[in-house]
Structure 1
């Protein structure tokens, strides 16, 4: 099974702080499937040979399962919210994501991030995630 080899750097996402630890065995089935799960949101809005655009919409208490990031991508918050992001190593972070916050992550060959995302706030949360397909331009 692939394991997270890259996490967002501390402070990379405004409003992020350390979250509670958890027992990854509670999510064993999801974690076993995560290296092959590239569902980065709740619905694909657009896709071609260069990009894949995802809507990620979560009501309070909803979550997206553990999934894998291994291509460059960015996301932008359109509806603010408080999120819990768990990693496959039992660590987590809590993010208070404000409207307009954008994060861009890059991946070298062999790097990946496996995480879930749960809306732990009391408001609807939405962001748009854009996966960049194919090799990076030279």
Structure 2
């Protein structure tokens, strides 16, 4: 039996800027909200802006930094470089709005 084709969404909720070198996104999730399941096609930098707890739920075929479900405290201003390949859903498991800036490196 064939599996239905997986539909993937954007890596964040709003595209802020795109040029020939970068694509800059904002992720904005209310408490309990989930992002679209998405694939990171390029390396990127993630900068946490606000929130208290965030989780990432990778897909079974994800080849990115996270291959198992992970929960973490949010540290506003924290920046992290992440290699491409992840297929995941972000989940705001906190009590406050979660925001991040995600900079894709082309």
TM-score, normalization: structure 1?
0.65
Which structure: larger Rg?
A: 1
Gaps (5+ residues) in structure 1?
A: 1-27, 134-138
Aligned residues: 98
Runs (4+) of structure 1 moved beyond 2 Å? Answer: none
For each residue in 1:85-111, what CA deviation from the matched residue of structure 2 results, as whole angstroms up to 9, or x when unmatched?
10112831101111111110134xxxx
In structure 1, distance between residues paired with 2:83 and 2:38: 16
**Structure whose residues are more often helix by fraction:** 1
TM-score, normalization: structure 2?
0.83
In structure 2, distance between residues paired with 1:56 and 1:67: 12
Aligned-pair Cα RMSD in Å? 1.9
Partner of 1:33: 7
Gaps (5+ residues) in structure 2?
A: 61-66
Partner of 2:31: 60
Partner of 1:81: 52
In structure 2, distance between residues paired with 1:46 and 1:118: 24
